[in-house]
Structure 1
Amino acid sequence: MSRLKSVIRTPVGLTATVLTVGVLLLAVVAPILWSDDADAVDTGNILAGPSADHWAGTDNLGRDIFFRTLVATRLSVELALAATAIAVVVGLLLGTASFVLGRRSGRIVNAGVNIAVAFPGLLLALFFAVVFGVGATGAVLAIGLAGAPAFGRLTRTLVASVSSRDFVDAARVAGVGRVRILFRHVLPNISEPLVVNATIGAGGALLSFAGLSFLGLGVQQPSYDWGRLLFDGIGSIYVNPAAALAPGVAVVVAGLAFNLFGESVAKVLGVGVVAGIELPPSVPAMEAPPPIDDSHHDADDVVLDVRDLEVTFPGPAGPIRPVRGVTFAVRRGEAVGVVGESGSGKSLTALAVSRLVGDPGRVDASRLELLGHDLRAADSKLLRKLLGTSLAMVFQDPMTSFNPTKRMGGQLAEVARHHQGLDRRSALARAVDRMRAVRIADPEHRAHQYPHEFSGGMRQRAMIGMGLMGTPALIVADEPTTALDVTVQQQVLDLLASIRAADDVALVLISHDVAVVGQVCDRVLVMYAGKIVEDLPAADLAATARHPYTRALVAAVPDMDTDLDQPLAVIPGRPVDPADVPPGCAYAARCPLVTDRCRAQEPPLEADAGGRRVACWHAGEPVDIEIEDRQMVEVETP
């Protein structure tokens, strides 16, 4: 209410509100007050000009044109709003088809929308008017369906811009269905432009009805709207111009009122107002996770088992494989770091594990299991519940990790309400408890705040708290500290470490920062060009890495012993383009140890007696690391 008052205080907002309320009030009271005056026939005063008795003159039956214009407000507004409602509903269905049905099924709908938008709206309205027949009903359907394609294309564009945000991915990881995500997370974030265009559409519908009625395709006698009055008044325009001017001015004023009011209301929409909820004194117990049959993994206590993972996208010159045959396993309580340059396939691997690679991407693997459940299986309630309660995803940018239109407590509580069946109060109590568990001060108050009221570090901790709403066995953290300052980075890393230690949770930490991974993780996977090139204990990362790329990554990170008088070490060249991976070793063009065999044969990822895996024909050989001024510094390997 306070935000609405602030908009009304502005000149444009106040003018728009007064005009809109005036038009709507007139639509209600005018037929009640002046219907008799509007229908009164005075044959002695036919086609009279404006006077004190008849402000806009009379028509060919002596009826007062001014009163008829006032009474026609109801029918004109009702028909315009009905047509706008049809355009909005049909447009929303068309615009959200790709999101709800999937890209392949929605492609046919989108093609139809694009074809319809290519035609002028008035031409479509005339076409539908002929199809549905002459009259008010046919005109409503015609104008509504004619406006739907443009509204649908706008909706499709807005949905596409929001559906790629992290908070939508988080809802998918939580196992929330597409329809619920659409209504809870997507539509509230695009409501402002939709409201503006809907109100503009209402003004346009008024004009369209006036046009159809003027052409004789809309409202028929004895009913009348502003368009019908225009049609009647145009015949006597040379005798009494006011006969056409009065309904024309009414159309302009009403259209302007709707447009200005939509612009004003849009400022207060998009952030819903949720009443405060009194928290119960106790935190409800969590529902037990779904039963898992993982007897064949008991020996190794494997949480995540990935074998021969590939992610493929269509490309102009053929399929592109950003992830090529990745194999690894994560055990309960283990922390595995994944490092590599941008484009190496780290994040895509995490998205594939979380079932977040959508069309046109394709995920293939000989095995992809979480707690013994096959993640390659078709979508089901059990699988969504497993992902929602046993897998926690922490995204890179904390600002985009949450829906900006929802309060933080409600967003965390969604997991408990959706999967544990808790009521609103109990779910919110659980959310407050989880916010307290991730060290957010005053969680009762913070639960009723919006994401923009949190700092970056608090948002990231809240994201971790969302993952803890269930009983996660695995946390996948994709660059969780990139957007944070150094102090907050350490706090987030300490929080992840404490959660892992307290609940024996497995952790997959994706990062560019080799030093962070070496500090937090037990084991490190080094990725290059979509493949794992080395798998080794984190403690051995700095001292005994065997792959030239791993050693180059380590050397490129300055430490306390770095000579500040010397240029920093760099990795020469550029990462491999996934669309053009060369034969042989993908790192060959940048490797100082390269030989003809490297360029011709791709080295396999082989394990040594200690279980360390490396894919290199020259593993462990001394390598020179290039520095900025192109001098060479030799790095020995024990």
Structure 2
Amino acid sequence: MIRRWRSVLRTPLGIAATALTVAVLVLAVVAPILWTDDANAVDTGNILAGPSGDHWAGTDNLGRDILFRTLVATRLSVELALAATAIAVVAGLVLGTAGFVLGRRPGRLVSAAINIAVAFPGILLALFFAVVFGVGATGAVLAIGFAGAPAFGRLTQTLVAGIESRDFISAARIAGVGRLRILVRHVLPNISEPLVVNATIGAGGALLSFAGLSFLGLGVQQPRYDWGRLLFDGISSIYVNPASALAPGAAVLIAGLAFNLFGESVAKGLGVGVVGGIPALPPVVPTLVTDEPLIEESHQAGTDLVLDVRDLEVTFPGARGPIRPVRGVSFAVRRGEAVGVVGESGSGKSLTALAVSRLVGEPGRVDASRLDLLGTDLRARDSRAQRQLLGTSLAMVFQDPMTSFNPTRRMGGQLAEVARHHQGLERRSALARAVDRLRSVRISEPERRARQYPHEFSGGMRQRAMIGMGLMGNPALIIADEPTTALDVTVQLQVLDLLQAIREADGVALVLISHDVTVVGEVCDRVLVMYAGRIVEDLPAAALSGEALHPYTRALVAAVPDMDTDLDQPLAVIPGRPVDPADVPPGCAYAARCPLASERCRVEDPALVPAGPGHRVACWHAGEPIDIEIADREEVRVP
């Protein structure tokens, strides 16, 4: 961080802007100490005198030296500008983070107010607030501060929106950390640099605005004076002594230029940018027929049931009506069981996991006839008990290990946050547990690693540390959303072996989401195949290769090359493209790509029904022989 700030001083612009800004701030401190008496000295025999050797900028209507008064006015001008900037920053932070802290609906009202305020010129808002707060320095500070708040709020809102979708924010939410704590510990540190840069530039704008209000007679009043007040007093004698107005005007120009150039140089040095209604959803009515007896049986099977999901639907508003990327998903996971979820991109795998983890925020909506974790209904309103359950009993391992951690905090502190928040451990004990968890996931030198930042970890180490964060509590369920996607094959095997060892040692249930059918088949006990937002087949992992019944499942398996694949033949592919969730056709969603599709498939959507012990399938032609299309359009018979 210090190195990045030092880079600001390595350019001519940065050096000049920093020197000029420091000079203005030093002058604001020392000028009143050195020259206040000279600035207030009245010489009635030398009224409205022009520039001379004794008075370089002339005198005013009481014979006071204009140059000394301009220098002394630096402190009040800078103080008032910084105070107005501080008000703008604080008010802007409150406005910009309201949506994150209060939720989407109250946030929309605040966002609408910001949009309306930003539409007006800043000086017009300042004049409006000046009338509201009254004439004087205090009223002008409040006026300029609140006039600058909407622009700063818009910037904050944009930055927060970019951060809140990151995986480490989702991880903190799963851990049950409150919104305000997430904001302070995770969001604000990651947006601090652009906020500081824009606040610096905003100080220059506030300085100019304050001088403008004082020049109009709405700011500083006699006997106090700032640069704007000196301009107001000097404009009446500008034809007699132009320097009476030029001296304070030059001071405003130089100081404003100093703040703006310093902000611009910091922005370039740090690589930071500088910036100057959803309809209600109709009720969701489940339309898919699910395997009620099978789900009820699993729910009543005993206390080993960890997760029970029935008729899960996730809905988002769209331009042409509601979009349902997850449609009627039902499954159950037992203690110690590993369930794999496979399917192409856009099939709803990750969104299902996010819905189970309570991470689908507005405008998305989650509906289910049952959504239980360890017997607790997750459909209930957010509460401390629910956050405690999710934070200690559910571990989420995200796809990208680089975005899974807050880059501004040390690894040990991030892991320890779970123990401090949910288990009431003090700082030292929580850090000791974090070190122990890093050791448990096979990270060497855990004490040293706990003091490092995420960028100092390799990809595999970050992924193992993410698993370690989930183990800070006593998880009964681990949801791993494509945890090996960004890793090489050797590290993939290490991560999968680690998950397997944790599952066997502690009886932890595992939901593994992956595109790799082979990995899921080797690691998991049972596989859920998803297409177009619903489960089309639920079968034992051992049955994937030879006993899969749905054409889509068999096509996924056939598309994966193995040691017996004929290298002289093109690889098998699945023709066509996945279904757009915004335009799901009637009937079976896979019909347009399925070689077995009949007229019934295009009209009637098959239900997920039993097809054998531990096997369910949703297909009108389950088990019939199919032809898998290959790259050169030749056909290969698949048994």
Question: Does TM-score exceed 0.5, indicating one fold?
Answer: yes
Question: What residue is the counterpart of 2:324 in the other structure?
Answer: 321
SS in 1 for 2:237: coil
2:87 aligns with 86
Instruction: Tell me which residue corresponds to 1:254.
Output: 255
> How far does residue 360 in structure 1 lie from its aligned partner after superposition?
0.7
User: Counterparts of 1:128-167 in structure 2 under 5 Å?
Assistant: 128-167=129-168
8 Å contact from structure 1 (residues 624, 633) kept in 2: yes
1:582 and 2:590 correspond: no
Show the counterpart of 2:407: 404
CA contact (8 A) 1:192 1:267 kept: no
- Name the structure 1 match of 2:172: 171
Q: Equivalences for 1:108-507 in 2 at 5 Å?
A: 108-263=109-264, 299=302, 301-507=304-510
Which residue number corresponds to residue 594 of structure 1? 597
Corresponding residue number in structure 1 for 2:105: 104
Q: Deviations over 1:4-49 (max 9, x none)?
A: 5565565444444433333223222322222111111001111222
| Structure 1 stretch displaced more, 135-144 or 296-305 | 296-305
Moved more, 553-562 or 130-139: 130-139
**Counterparts in 2 of 1:416 and 1:270: CA distance versus 1, 3 Å:** farther
Deviation at 1:356, TM superposition (A): 0.4
Deviation at 1:54, TM superposition (A): 1.6
Cα distance in 2 between the residues matched to 1:185 and 1:269: 20
Amino acid at match of 2:212: G
In the TM superposition, what is the alpha-carbon distance from 1:239 to its structure 2 partner?
2.8
Q: Distance in 2 between matches of 1:392 and 1:33?
A: 64
Match of 2:521 in 1: 518
Which residue identity does 2:93 align to in structure 1? L
With 260-269 and 119-128 compared, the bigger mean Cα shift is at 260-269
Which residue in 2 is equivalent to 1:284?
none
Flag structure 2 segments of 5+ consecutive residues without an equivalent: 273-297
1:214 offset after TM fit, Å? Answer: 0.8
Q: Decide whether the 8 Å contact of 1:27 with 1:77 is kept in 2.
A: yes
Name the count of aligned residue pairs. 613
> In structure 2, what is the Cα distance between the partners aligned to 1:585 and 1:6?
59
Aligned mates of 1:168, 1:379 — CA distance in 2: 17
Following the alignment from structure 2 to structure 1, what is the Cα–Cα distance between the partners of residues 540 and 299?
25
Q: What is the CA–CA distance in structure 2 between the aligned matches of 1:460 and 1:576, rounded to whole Å?
A: 31
Q: Quick one: which amino acid aligns to residue 367 of structure 1?
A: R
CA distance in 2, matches of 1:583, 1:205: 60
Aligned to 1:43: 44
In 2, Cα distance between equivalents of 1:544 and 1:216: 86
- Which of residues 620, 626, 631 is equivalent to 2:629? 626
Matches within 5 A, 1:26-41: 26-41=27-42
- C-alpha deviation, 1:232, in angstroms: 1.5
CA contact (8 A) 2:299 2:305 kept: no
Moved more, 314-323 or 14-23: 14-23
Q: Does 1:62 align with 2:63?
A: yes
Report deviation, 1:169.
0.8
Alpha-carbon separation, structure 2, partners of 1:102 and 1:110: 12
Question: CA separation in 1, counterparts of 2:335 and 2:269?
Answer: 47
CA 1:621 to 1:492, structure 2 compared with 1: closer, same or farther past 3 Å?
same
Q: What secondary structure sits across from 2:581 in the alignment?
A: coil
Q: Distance in 2 between matches of 1:142 and 1:215?
A: 14
1:155 deviation in Å?
0.8
Q: Which residue of 2 aligns with 1:95?
A: 96
* Cα distance in 1, alignment partners of residues 376 and 25 from structure 2: 58
C-alpha contact 1:391 1:467 (8 A) present in aligned 2: yes
- Deviation per CA, 1:80-125, whole angstroms, max 9, x where unpaired? 1111111111111111111111111111111111111111101111
Superimposed CA distance per residue, residues 455-507 of structure 1 (whole angstroms, 9 cap, x where no aligned partner): 11111111111111111111001111111111211111111111111111110
Distance (whole Å) between structure 2 residues aligned to residue 497 and residue 256 of structure 1: 61
Once residues 118 and 6 of structure 1 are traced to their aligned partners in structure 2, the CA distance between those partners, rounded to angstroms, is 36
Q: 2:611 aligns with which of 596, 608, 612?
A: 608
Contact 2:201 2:262 in 1 (8 A): no
| Cα distance change of structure 1 residues 183 and 468 upon mapping to structure 2, 3 Å threshold | same
Indicate the larger mover: 107-116 or 29-38.
Answer: 29-38
The equivalent of 1:562 in structure 2 is: 565
Question: Percent same amino acid among aligned pairs?
Answer: 84
Amino acid at match of 1:548: P
CA contact (8 A) 1:92 1:155 kept: yes
1:174-208 residue CA offsets vs partner (Å, 9 max, x unmatched): 11111111111111111111111111111111100
Aligned to 1:287: none
CA contact 2:540–2:614 (8 Å) conserved in 1: no
Superimposed CA distance per residue, residues 101-150 of structure 1 (whole angstroms, 9 cap, x where no aligned partner): 11111111111111111111011111111122211111111111111111
Equivalent residue, structure 1, for 2:534: 531
Unaligned runs of 5+ in 1: 272-294
Counterpart CA distance in 1 for 2:126 and 2:565 is 73
Identify if the C-alpha distance between structure 1 residues 74 and 329 changes in structure 2 by more than 3 Å, giving closer, same or farther.
same
> Are 2:528 and 2:535, in contact at CA under 8 Å, matched by a contact in 1?
yes
**Residues 45 and 62 in structure 1, CA contact (< 8 A), matched pair in contact too:** yes
- Secondary structure in structure 2 of the residue aligned to 1:308: strand
How far apart, CA to CA, are the structure 1 residues paired with 2:257 and 2:408?
29
Separation in 2, partners of 1:339, 1:358:
24
Partners of 2:301 and 2:553 in 1: how far apart? 32
In the alignment, the residues of structure 1 paired with residue 97 and residue 300 of structure 2 have an alpha-carbon distance, to the nearest angstrom, of 42
Superposition deviation, residue 411 in structure 1: 1.1
Q: Report if the CA contact (8 A) 1:188-1:270 is conserved.
A: no
Residues 297 and 372 of structure 1 are in contact (CA less than 8 Å); yes or no, is this contact kept in structure 2?
A: no
Check the 8 A contact 1:270/1:405 in 2, yes or no. no
- On the 8 A contact 2:353/2:479 being kept in 1, the answer is yes
CA RMSD, aligned part only?
1.9
User: In 2, Cα distance between the equivalents of 1:266 and 1:459?
Assistant: 30
In structure 1, C-alpha distance between the alignment counterparts of 2:601 and 2:299, rounded to whole Å: 38
Corresponding position of 1:280? none
Name whichever of 330-339 and 607-616 sits farther off.
607-616
What TM-score comes out, normalization by structure 2 length?
Answer: 0.93
